[in-house]
Every structure is written in structure tokens, then in C-alpha cells.
Structure 1
Amino acid sequence: MINNEATATSLKLTETQKPDIQRKAIRLGQSLRLPCGAILKNRLLKSAMSDSLADGKGNATLEQARLYERWAEGGVALSIIGEVQVDPRYPEKPGNLVLGPNTNRQALSELAARGSINDTHIWPQIGHAGALAAPLISQPKGPSALRVGSFSCAGMSLSEIQQLPAVYTNAALLTKAVGFSGLQLHAGHGFLLSQFLSPLFNRRQDQYGGSVDARARVIVDIIEKVRGAVGPHFPIGIKINSSDQLEGGLSQQEALEVIGILDRTSIDLIEISGGTYFPGATSSSDAATDGPYFIDFASQAKQLTKIPIVTTGGFKNRPQAVAALGSGETDMIGMARALALNPSLARQWLKPTADEVHFPRFNTTPPGGITAWYTMRLTALAKDNEDNFSMDLESAIRCYEQRDQLRAERWRRRFSSSQ
């Protein structure tokens, strides 16, 4: 038997809720002014992915430029180029970009120009893989020497650490010179600056180890030196973990302390993520969970800083984005894999009748398979060939690994004198 009164009440509530939902949805299209004065045209950000589309010598390619042009056409306010290296001795992959003295500036300028059409900001995510540098083309080195199971890395000397602010600053100056509209410091996902924050990786007994303040010292030094070089009006963002999701790694409470430390710097945008690429660790994006992963942490972080917050991870439909922005838990929504599936998703979500993302389901999930599949999907987007993309995970892994092997040879030839 149907309870008509209950049904009528339910319908009435739905009608009552509509104006509130519509009011919250307006925030998707509202601009965001950063502390430095730069304006982001809406609240949707293409978060960094390792697109692996550089030429194997650290240089940008036309395919890479086309990929970011597509996201700019698709309506995002800001695109972040993932895994752009400040030191060719410690890359994440041989398909990374490198910001160095011999980098092809013309190719970088092309990437910056095409990725910034339609009033879009495009920032490189500048970083250093440290202990997680690709073994094929590197000798990994982190804040401390470490051996965990089959994983090992050397430790950095005090002199090497003290040189990092200058290394990052040189990369930042090149970023600005070739036409990018800002940059993001990569201090998440287990790479070098994230390793300094993590008590699992950072076991130093000097001024760079111990307390959270000490472990964050090198990051603060980098921010100060970069800001002094690029000036007060050039956006500087940072990506940090809400936690490492590893036993002995950075905890949520420590990560909140880092937010407080960043609030005292000149950072313009803080992107919240989590997890690491430590061997054997589960990726947050591969976890079977519904809804945004880090929104609770972002809500707590908002209480500790005046700097705008981006939350990335797990946003799979428009209502989730509308709810997070409308509640004030975050200032921007970061998306990665969703925009690999539909590069025009931002433009569509700015409309009331938005298309939703249809995420693929795989019968088997071999280690590294999902990451490889999405990376090869980015290659198809860059070639405007996504309609013909039909790889299974095993094929994606083969193509991905074969391409890396070829690029590793080029990388070793190009950067052999740097090793």
C-alpha cells in the first residue's frame, strides 16, 4: 500500500530543495581570486596526471600540447601538468618533462600557449621523485637512506638538501619565462617533498628532521626563494597529502599541522590529495569507495587557513561537486581520470543538464594496469583518437612498458652526464 501523504511530503521536499541545489550549483561557475591577484574563471581544476607524453629527452611534444589544448577547450579553469622534473637525475618516468638549462623552450612555449586558450590557466607541477625516482634511469635518493623489503634508496647529504631551493627556483623562473601562468609544487604522493614530510622516509636528526616544523622546513625555504624570484603576482600552488596511508607515514593530524605552516607562507592554492606510489601501496583512486576521498580533511583544513583549498579524488558526478562547493568544504574541485574519459566535462558540468561520466569496469586488475590504461587513454586524447581506443588492461600495460623502455634509452643518452 502506498502512503500518499508521505509521497506528497517527499515531493514537496524535493521541490523545496531545488532552489537550494540551484544556488549551490552556481558556485561551479563562479570565479576564484587567488591571494596573488590571479583569477580562475570557475571552480573546476584538471589535476595532475603523469601523461608520459614528453619525448624521452625531457622536452614537450605537439601531442602533449594538443592534450592540454583539449582540456582548455573543455572548460576547466586550471590545468596542472603532472610530474615536471626540476632535476633529470631523479625523474618519475622517462616520459616526464624537465625544466633545465637545455630544455627546448620553444616546445614549452607551444604547450603553454595552447593550454591557455579560452582564459585557462596552465601550471606545471614541478617536483623531484627522490626515493621514488625511476630505477631504470636513476639512482633513487631520499631524505634518508631507507631499506624496506625489496625497496631501498640512498640518503641526501645536507649540502644536497640546501641546494634544493635554488634548483626549484631555476625551474620556476623558466616556467614563467616560457609563458605558463603559474606553477604547483609537488609535495604529495610520496615524491621528494612529500618524503620530507613523512616520518617513514625522513629519519634525519638535523634541522630537516624530527618535528613537523622541521620536516616542512625545506618546503618553506623553497616557497620563500621561489616567491622572491617570480614576484608577488605569479601564482604558486602546492599539492600535499592528507595522509600517506602508510604505516609510519604522515598522519592526518600531522598533515593539518602542515596546513597551518603553509598558511604562514605566500602560497596561493593548496590541493589536497593522499596516498603514495610507494611499492605495494594501494592507490586512493583504485580503492572501491563511493564519493570524494578527502573532503572531510579539506573541511578541517579550511578552518586552519585563508588560502583557497582544492580537493581532488573521487568526484565522479556533478551533484558531488555541487554539494562539496555549496557546503563550503572546499573552494575548488580537482578531477583527473574523469577528464581523461571526457575532456569536455567541465563545460558540461557548468550547465544544469550535465552529462555524467561513465567509468570503465575491468574484469581483472593486474598491478599497474589501471594506471597504464588511463595513461594510454591520454595518448589517444592527444591524438584526437579516443573514439577508437579499446585497449584492455593487459594490452595497455604492454604498450605503456614498451614505450617507457624506448624512452629510457633516450633519457640515458640525453642525461648521462647528469648521473
Structure 2
Amino acid sequence: MQTRGPLFEPLQLPCGLTLNNRIAKSAMSDSLGDGTGHPTAAQMRLYQRWAAGGLSVSIIGEVQLKSGYAENPGNLVLNEASDLERFRKLARHGSENGTRLWLQLGHAGALAYAPTSKPKGPTAFDLQGLRCAEITSEEIRQLPSEFSTTARLAKQAGFGGVQIHAAHGFLLSQFLSPLFNKRTDEYGGAIGNRMRLLLDVIEATRAAVGRTFPIAVKLNSSDELERGFDEEDALKVVAALDRSTIDLIDISGGTYFPGAKSASDRSGRGPYFLEFAKRARAMTAKPLMLTGGFKTRAQAEDAVASGAVDIVGLARALVLEPSLPNLWKDDQKPEPSFPRFSQAPEGGITAWYTMRLAEIGADKDTPVFGDLAQAIHDYATRDTLRTKVWLSHFAGNALGNVQI
């Protein structure tokens, strides 16, 4: 028996695009690039399967503007030197069945993968687990153009939209956070200055892609770190985004800084940031997406039906069941089965889910959950191999000047 309900109503974005339902695959670092910044057959198959599963939007996480600040050697890199035809093929596969395939534009900043990068953040740090140089004023001024170039190429390659990543402790999120942004120039200090770079990136990106191409922003509700970016600052950013030309605000939270607990590793049930989304709703008429903690159809339906958000972002649920939207629509499998891991090391659960993505892309996924220790080993081995490929491919240019 097929049903509709609030999750299966269309949603029109300010740019004029209508999404066919209210379920999105939120951005994850699938780490399925080939080590040269290009998509692989497994990555294409992964997004093809998600498209077949009934999503309205699918977002590819951490697509880099250049090679020097990637968060993983499996990231995609899209710029003028890229082989655009390989990206066009990915766009075609991931856009089947009416799904809109978007690229999340990333710059890891201080969290750039050290074996292939020289991490840089708003402010220099030399702490255990976090060492980075300070990004220069000239490099900051170049960033809006770099974001806009990748967005323009995404549109040219046939992708359906872009998301600007300003969450989870990556570069634009670092600028928003007073804990990591100690600058004394026009990009530091009060929140109006700390959001300046994000707003400049949005303006340049809109100019590059035109008014009918969707632009989303992923924003932390808070860093969940003492003296970091908090909800009051986040609401001020939401108010500024309401005055901008973006089409969607994707609310999340937490950081990936060493030692910080990932929001996705929380225990408990229910959406993580729903209360903040309710506060944000009062600040903006822009469509709101909420990512984090949705594990059942009832939770997703309640969030949309309440009016707090317009669309829900699913991640790990879709790793466990790529066809979940269609199953929900057919009144099947309201709650996928989640694995439970005891005493998982830092990053271990993320490694398990990432290797599960590789299985889906190879059509080797099964209902049986694989071993955590084996997944961690396989993840590390793969990164070691791709690091060698990355360094060889971007030889002499891995610190920022990309040549492909």
C-alpha cells in the first residue's frame, strides 16, 4: 500500500526549482574518489542506487576546490584542470529517477588531511592534534572566486545544485567560531565580521551560477565546544542568510576537531538539532533542512509536519538502506536496523559506515553487518594507498596549486 503524507509533498525552492519530496541524502564524505580527485565507477553506482531509492536531493560531500586542503585523499576535486567528462558521467548517474544531485563545496582548512596538505585556518594553532598555519589575507580574498569557479563547473557538468559547507569545523565554520578565529582584521571579532567570508562566498557563487541554480548552505547550530560558535551566533547567521540569495539552510552541528565528540556518534533517539531549528524558523522564511539523528519515518514526518523544517537530511539510515524513501512511501520498514558498537575507537564508526558505502557502490552490501575492526583496517589501508596516488598525481602542487 502506497502512502503520501508530509514527506512526499513537493517543495519549491526560492530559485524556482521544485523538489519532488522532503527527503534528502545529506552530505557525507564517501571517500570514493580515485586519489586523483576524480569519481570512480563505485561512486557513480552508489549515487545511482540512492537515486533509484526515491530521494529528492542527494548531496556529495566534501568536493574540493583544489587539492591542497582536502579532508581525505578520496575527496573529489573540481576545478578548471579537472576532466569534466568524468564528472558529467557522475552527474548523469546520480540524477536518475528525478533526483537532484548536488555537490557540497568543501575546504577543510585547519582540518586538511596532513599527509597531503599544509593545513591552514583563520588563526595559527600548535596544539596536540591540531597544528595549522594562519591563512593569509590574500588567500581569503581568493576564496570566493575559488568557490564560484567550482560551482560554475558543477552546473556545466550537469549537477543540480551546490551546497556551501560552513559546518562541522571545516574552514568556513572555523571562521564563524570565536574559538578558532582570533583574527583582528575585518574577518575576525564580532559575528558580523566572522560571517563576512561566508557571505562573500555566497555572493560570488550566485553571480557565477545565475538566479535559477540552487545554492544551499550547511550551518552548525553550534560547535558544541566551550567558547565556540554558539546558538545565539548561529541565529544571527541565519538572519543574514535570510537576506541572501540562497535557497536552503541545512542545519547540523558539532565539529570534527580532534577529541571532540561527533554529533553522529551520540547515543539516544531523535533528531539532534530540532529545538534549534524551531528557533531558526522564527528568523527566516528560507526553506530549512535538518540533518542528524533521524532514525525512523515517524521522526522525519513529525519534524516536517510541525513546520519546524521543510526537508529532512538522512545519512547513516541511507547507508543501511539505500531505498529507504521508497520503502517509507510504500509503508515498509519504518525503522532501519542500526548496528551497535561497544568501545569503538575515535573515528571507528565513521570508518565502518564509509566502508559500507564502498560495498553499496560495488553492489556487495548485505543485511549482515560487517566487523568493525576489519572496516577500520580496510579504511586505513585504502587511505594509505590513495595518499600515495594523490601525492604522485598532484606532485609539487599538493599544497595548493592544483594541476591535473
Aligned to 1:139: 118
Aligned 8 A contact 2:63 2:76 in 1: yes
Q: CA deviation at 1:228?
A: 0.8
Instruction: After TM superposition, list the pairs within 5 Å mapping 1:27-46 onto structure 2.
Output: 27-46=6-25
Instruction: After TM superposition, list the pairs within 5 Å mapping 1:206-355 onto structure 2.
Output: 206-355=185-334
Question: Counterpart amino acid of 1:373?
Answer: W
TM-score by length of 1: 0.93
Aligned to 1:51: 30
- Structure 1 Cα separation of the partners of residues 288 and 255 of structure 2: 20
1:377 lines up with 2:356 in the alignment: yes
Instruction: After TM superposition, list the pairs within 5 Å mapping 1:128-207 onto structure 2.
Output: 128-207=107-186
Aligned to 2:383: 404
Aligned to 2:56: 77
Structure 2 segments unaligned to the other structure (5+ residues): 400-404
Aligned 8 A contact 1:348 1:354 in 2: yes
Deviations 1:60-116 (A, max 9, x none): 111101000001000010000011101210000000000122212111111100100
Question: Counterpart amino acid of 1:45?
Answer: A
Question: Counterpart amino acid of 1:224?
Answer: E
1:112 lines up with 2:91 in the alignment: yes
- Structure 1 Cα separation of the partners of residues 262 and 384 of structure 2: 23
Q: CA deviation at 1:290?
A: 1.5
Q: SS at 1:228's partner residue?
A: helix
- Structure 2 Cα separation of the partners of residues 54 and 241 of structure 1: 26
Q: SS at 1:53's partner residue?
A: coil
Deviations 1:350-372 (A, max 9, x none): 23444421001123312211000
Question: Counterpart amino acid of 1:223?
Answer: I
Deviations 1:220-270 (A, max 9, x none): 111111111110000000101000011121001111111001111101011
Aligned to 1:123: 102
Counterpart selection for 2:366 from 374, 379, 387: 387
Q: CA deviation at 1:416?
A: 2.4
Q: CA deviation at 1:331?
A: 0.5
Question: Counterpart amino acid of 1:339?
Answer: L
- Structure 2 Cα separation of the partners of residues 239 and 332 of structure 1: 13
- With 47-56 and 103-112 compared, the bigger mean Cα shift is at 103-112
Deviations 1:358-405 (A, max 9, x none): 001123312211000000000000011101864311111110001001
Aligned to 2:402: none
Aligned 8 A contact 1:243 1:251 in 2: yes
- Structure 2 Cα separation of the partners of residues 398 and 232 of structure 1: 45
Task: Specify the structure having the higher radius of gyration (Cα).
Answer: 1
- With 409-418 and 388-397 compared, the bigger mean Cα shift is at 388-397
Question: Counterpart amino acid of 2:216?
Answer: G
Deviations 1:23-69 (A, max 9, x none): xx611100100000011100000001111100001001111010000
Question: Counterpart amino acid of 1:199?
Answer: P
Aligned 8 A contact 1:142 1:154 in 2: yes
Structure 1 segments unaligned to the other structure (5+ residues): 1-21
Flag the structure with more relative contact order, 1 or 2, with Cα contacts below 8 A and sequence separation at least 6.
2
- Structure 2 Cα separation of the partners of residues 363 and 262 of structure 1: 40
CA 1:92–1:101: 2 relative to 1, 3 Å: same
Percent identity between the two aligned chains: 52
Deviations 1:102-146 (A, max 9, x none): 212111111100100111100010110000000111110011112
- Structure 1 Cα separation of the partners of residues 59 and 383 of structure 2: 22
Aligned 8 A contact 2:54 2:325 in 1: yes
Please list every run of at least 4 consecutive aligned residues from structure 1 whose deviation after the TM superposition is greater than 6 angstroms: none
Q: SS at 2:395's partner residue?
A: helix
Q: SS at 1:98's partner residue?
A: coil
